Structure formats: C-alpha cells, structure tokens
C-alpha cells in the first residue's frame, strides 16, 4: 500500500485532528480551505479516503446516512444526540462482552467493532427538562 505523505494530505490530517466535532467531508473541506485555499475539494476527498485506508482516521457512520470523520483512532465508541445531532467520543466503554457473545453464538471472527450509542446529550436534556 502506498502511504506517501503529501503536503496536502498532512494538512487534511492535521485539520481533522484539530477538529473535535467529527466533521462531515464537506465540513472538513471547508476547514481545510481556511488553512490552504489552494487545496481542491477532490484532493480533500481523495486524501480522506487514503487516510481511512491507512487507518490514520476513522469513519463514523450515523443512522441518517451521514458519514463523519474522526482523527482520533484510539479505541473508543461514539454517542450521537438525537436532538442536536452532535457526536461525542466515549472512552472506556468495554465491548469485550459483546464480542464474546457474538463469537459464542456464531462462527464469525470479529476483527473490529464499531459502536454508536444514541440518545439525548446532557445539554439538550437540560434544555428540555
């Protein structure tokens, strides 16, 4: 696999890692434009795909079909607020029991898990209740 690092790819990665909002591809592109207006949309899209393939960033898929991106590839889950639609990182969520249950009840070999919790965030809860 070609893991060549170009200046544009480094800018895309650095920008994503600085954002804690789990941006969509368009939001990431707009943030990259603020750093370097010479980087085109196709270049951002291409480099995001490469960074995902290389395991340097991760996709966060939501039930509404929108793909968000996360520059933090440490093992963690996500929480999506059904009210404000923001994504939050959840660290320390142990999915080992879930993996063991799937292994026990099936013939699957699990290489990775992706967990997205949904509900209402504290800020939205405070507004509503």
Q: Say what percent of the chain tops pLDDT 90.
A: 66
Residue 57 confidence (pLDDT) above 80: yes
**Within 13 A of 8's CA, how many CA atoms are on the CB side?**
15
Helix, coil or strand: residue 115: coil
Displacement of CA 87 from its chain's centroid (Å): 9
Instruction: Please enumerate in sequence order all residues whose Cβ is within 8 A of that of 63, keeping only pairs 6 or more positions apart, or say none.
Output: 80, 116, 118
pLDDT at 112: 76
Of all helices (H) and strands (E), which one includes residue 16? helix 7-18
Domain boundaries for CATH 3.30.1490.190 within the chain: 74-129
**Location of each CATH 1.10.10.10 domain in the chain:** 1-71
User: Residue 79 has what pLDDT?
Assistant: 95
Q: What is the architecture, at CATH level 2, of domain 1-71?
A: Orthogonal Bundle (1.10)
Q: Could you give the angle at which helices 25-35 and 41-53 cross, rounded to 10 degrees?
A: 110
Q: How far apart are CA 88 and CA 99, in angstroms?
A: 22
Write down the CATH number for the domain with range 74-129.
3.30.1490.190
The average pLDDT across 71-81 equals 91
- pLDDT tens, 98-111? 888 888 898 888 87
Please name which of 70, 74, 38 lies closest in space to residue 57, comparing C-alpha atoms: 70
Average pLDDT, the chain: 90
Residue 96: its pLDDT value, please?
80
Task: Quote the pTM value.
Answer: 0.84
């Amino acid at each position: 696999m070609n893991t060549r690092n170009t200046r544009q790819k480094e800018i895309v990665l650095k920008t994503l890692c600085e954002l804690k909002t789990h941006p969509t591809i368009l939001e990431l592109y707009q943030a990259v434009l603020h750093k370097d207006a010479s980087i085109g949309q196709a270049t951002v899209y291409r480099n995001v795909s490469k960074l995902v393939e290389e395991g340097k960033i991760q996709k966060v898929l939501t039930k509404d079909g929108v793909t968000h991106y996360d520059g933090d590839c440490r093992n963690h889950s996500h929480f999506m607020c059904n009210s404000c639609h923001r994504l939050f990182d959840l660290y320390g969520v142990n999915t080992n029991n879930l993996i063991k249950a799937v292994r026990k009840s099936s013939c699957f070999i699990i290489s990775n898990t992706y967990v997205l919790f949904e509900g209402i965030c504290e800020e939205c809860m405070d507004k509503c209740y």
